């Protein structure tokens, strides 16, 4: 018998090395190599592998109708999956431990099972299995009872062995949806490494995904995210599954955001917003109202940004604080936005508008704990900063959006109408926006048609200086170089 060989697998990136090293050569992570024994592939637990088959080629067009997507009825979840889950697909739901993944998926399971029970149709009977590797059956039951879901006909099991799962699921007439919580607890007995290691996670997921494709059930895998923000058992899982949903949120707040970061069957920029309550997660149909709920009227240093998450507009308040610093290097702290982007906006304010903030401490916060990635937030951030520096409030009921270029020009953003509509719906009366795109040859998208209803006064801001002029009386500003404003090119 051949001597069993060892190899060293990086637990962060999955790279394999022949020798142990303190640092992974592929991803540079320290102390991430773990010894695992080399084995040939676990050899088709599903009982395949008999003789070599031939590939059968088929046409792109199918004669039979594709099976309908599985819609659970939780609108926020269905939208993120691209209009329901596709039979035979694998979905990874990733998030920090304790963020609410099990809660969400138990609710999804209950809704699917209840709907299946009602329709009584074999084709649509979304029998739903929930396999927990982390909690005992009693714990899951207790949770279900607290959330008022105990009556839902979910098939519940507590298991961690992939071999057992395959044995019970690899037969016709099985459930339409299988939820496995979590992939880090799974193990395949033919592998020596511990559950949660790269080889176990990869092999277990592979085995279940293969079965999902074969039997046509939709597989929902829960994956915990490590401290570094990687999906543990790392990136290897991301490209094996069809859809990756991340569930995120600040533990200090009640709301949670489900985000599609990869979706083979739908758009990837959709978000679903939920609120964690005593009875589980509630859908938030109007997130703007939630994020603006804590707003305390008009104060200096606050501006409302009309943003966009996926196809959906989202209004959030951006708060800034500017104060003189006792330190040589003043502090800059950002929550919910990119600190590099803040540095850029500050530099443009200084260079193009003569607003001297170099000696000041600057704090920026996106209220509600949301994280914004859109450059369209630049103008609202600048407004909050200027307002904080001058003490002059942004006029009441004003929404702001626009991207700032390095010369101080305000650049157009997408989906202007959608943002304005949302602002109007929430009772805003004024919008400071980037100049709208003129349609012309070579320019993509962007309708320049009439926007906003009668209730909204729209003011286009072409240059950052226009914004500064609106928020500061002359002499109000901490000026740079005897107040001379540098000319923009």
- The residues binding ligand TYD (CB under 6 A) are 95, 97-103, 143, 146-147, 276, 278-280
Start-to-end Cα distance in the chain:
76
Among Mg ion, ligand TYD, none, the one that 99 touches (CB under a kind-dependent 5 to 8 A) is ligand TYD
Among Mg ion, ligand TYD, none, the one that 213 touches (CB under a kind-dependent 5 to 8 A) is none
- In whole angstroms, how close is the CB of 5 to Mg ion at the nearest point? 36
- Evaluate whether 222 touches 105 at the Cβ level (below 8 Å): yes
- Evaluate whether 464 touches 382 at the Cβ level (below 8 Å): yes
How many CA atoms within 13 Å lie on the side-chain side of 420?
24
In three-state secondary structure terms, 469 is: helix
- In whole angstroms, how close is the CB of 388 to ligand TYD at the nearest point? 35
- In whole angstroms, how close is the CB of 108 to ligand TYD at the nearest point? 12
Tokens matching residue 256: 């949670």
Nearer to Mg ion, 63 or 278 (CB): 278
In three-state secondary structure terms, 107 is: helix
From 19-27, 101-109, 213-221, 287-295, give the range in contact with Mg ion by CB under 5 A.
101-109
Contacts of residue 73, Cβ cutoff 8 Å, sequence gap at least 6: 111, 115
Q: How many helices (H) and strands (E) does the chain have?
A: 11, 21
Q: Check binding of 360 to Mg ion (CB under 5 A).
A: no
Nearer to ligand TYD, 110 or 345 (CB): 110
Question: H or E segment at 260?
Answer: strand 255-263
Among ligand TYD, Mg ion, none, the one that 95 touches (CB under a kind-dependent 5 to 8 A) is ligand TYD
Nearer to ligand TYD, 230 or 303 (CB): 230
Q: Check binding of 11 to Mg ion (CB under 5 A).
A: no
Q: Check binding of 102 to Mg ion (CB under 5 A).
A: yes
The Cα–Cα gap between 355 and 483 comes to: 9
In 3D space, the residue among 464, 322, 449 whose CA is nearest the CA of residue 402 turns out to be 464
From 33-41, 77-85, 94-102, 229-237, give the range in contact with Mg ion by CB under 5 A.
94-102
Tokens matching residue 165: 């799962």
| Residue given tokens 């209840």 in the structure block | 114
- In whole angstroms, how close is the CB of 237 to Mg ion at the nearest point? 16
Which of positions 242-301 make contact with Mg ion (CB under 5 A)? none
How far, in Å, are 32, 131, 409, 477 from residue 404 at the CA level?
41, 49, 6, 20
Among ligand TYD, Mg ion, none, the one that 402 touches (CB under a kind-dependent 5 to 8 A) is none
Q: Check binding of 185 to Mg ion (CB under 5 A).
A: no
Whole-angstrom Cα Rg for the chain: 27
Nearer to ligand TYD, 131 or 147 (CB): 147
- In whole angstroms, how close is the CB of 115 to Mg ion at the nearest point? 23
Among Mg ion, ligand TYD, none, the one that 143 touches (CB under a kind-dependent 5 to 8 A) is ligand TYD
Nearer to ligand TYD, 100 or 354 (CB): 100
Question: H or E segment at 416?
Answer: helix 416-425
Nearer to ligand TYD, 107 or 199 (CB): 107
Distance of CA 377 to the CA centre of its chain: 18
- In whole angstroms, how close is the CB of 103 to ligand TYD at the nearest point? 3
Q: What is the DSSP code string of 205-250?
A: HHHHHHHHHHHTPEEEEEEEBPTTSPBSSHHHHHHHSSEEEEEE--
Among Mg ion, ligand TYD, none, the one that 100 touches (CB under a kind-dependent 5 to 8 A) is ligand TYD
- In whole angstroms, how close is the CB of 489 to ligand TYD at the nearest point? 51
Which residues would be at the binding site for Mg ion (CB under 5 A)?
102
């Amino acid at each position: 018998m051949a001597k069993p060989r060892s190899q060293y697998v990086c637990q962060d990136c999955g790279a394999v090395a022949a020798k142990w090293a303190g640092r992974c050569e592929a991803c540079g992570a320290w102390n991430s190599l773990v010894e695992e024994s080399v084995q040939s592939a676990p050899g088709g637990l599903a009982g395949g592998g008999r003789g070599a088959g031939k590939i059968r080629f088929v046409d792109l067009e199918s004669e039979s109708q594709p099976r309908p997507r599985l819609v659970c009825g939780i609108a926020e979840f269905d939208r993120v999956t691209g209009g329901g889950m596709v039979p035979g697909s694998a979905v990874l739901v990733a998030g920090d431990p304790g963020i609410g993944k099990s809660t969400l998926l138990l609710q999804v399971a209950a809704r699917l099972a209840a709907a299946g029970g009602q329709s009584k149709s074999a084709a649509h009977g979304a029998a739903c299995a929930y396999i927990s590797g982390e909690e005992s059956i009693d714990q899951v039951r207790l949770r279900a009872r607290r959330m008022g879901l105990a009556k839902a006909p979910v098939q519940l099991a507590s298991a961690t062995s992939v071999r057992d799962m395959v044995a019970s699921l690899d037969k016709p007439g099985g459930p339409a949806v299988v939820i496995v919580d979590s992939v880090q607890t799974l193990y395949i007995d033919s592998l020596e490494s511990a559950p949660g290691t790269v080889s176990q996670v990869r092999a277990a997921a592979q085995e279940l995904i293969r079965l999902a494709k074969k039997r046509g059930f939709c597989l929902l895998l829960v994956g915990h995210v490590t401290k570094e923000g990687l999906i543990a058992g790392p990136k290897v899982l991301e490209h094996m599954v069809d859809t990756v949903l991340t569930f995120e949120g600040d533990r200090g707040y009640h709301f949670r955001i489900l985000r599609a970061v990869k979706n083979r069957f739908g758009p990837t920029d959709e978000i679903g917003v939920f609120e964690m309550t005593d009875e589980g997660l509630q859908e938030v149909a109007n997130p703007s109202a939630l994020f603006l709920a804590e707003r305390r009227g008009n104060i200096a240093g606050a501006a409302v940004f009309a943003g966009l998450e996926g196809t959906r507009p989202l209004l959030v308040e951006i708060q800034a604080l500017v104060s003189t610093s006792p330190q040589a290097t003043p502090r800059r702290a950002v929550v919910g936005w990119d600190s590099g982007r803040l540095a850029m906006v500050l530099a443009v304010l200084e260079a193009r508008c003569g607003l001297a903030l170099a000696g000041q401490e600057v704090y920026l916060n996106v209220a509600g704990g949301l994280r914004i990635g859109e450059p369209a937030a630049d103008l609202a951030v600048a407004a909050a900063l200027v307002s904080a520096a001058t003490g002059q409030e942004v006029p009441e009921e004003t929404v702001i959006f626009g991207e700032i270029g390095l010369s101080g020009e305000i650049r157009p953003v997408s989906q202007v109408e959608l943002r304005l509509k949302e602002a109007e719906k929430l009772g805003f009366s004024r919008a400071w926006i980037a100049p709208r795109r003129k349609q012309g040859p070579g320019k993509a998208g962007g309708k320049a048609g009439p926007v906003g209803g009668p209730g909204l006064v729209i003011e286009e801001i072409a240059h950052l200086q226009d914004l500064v002029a609106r928020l500061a009386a002359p002499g109000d500003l901490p000026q740079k170089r005897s107040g001379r404003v540098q000319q923009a090119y």
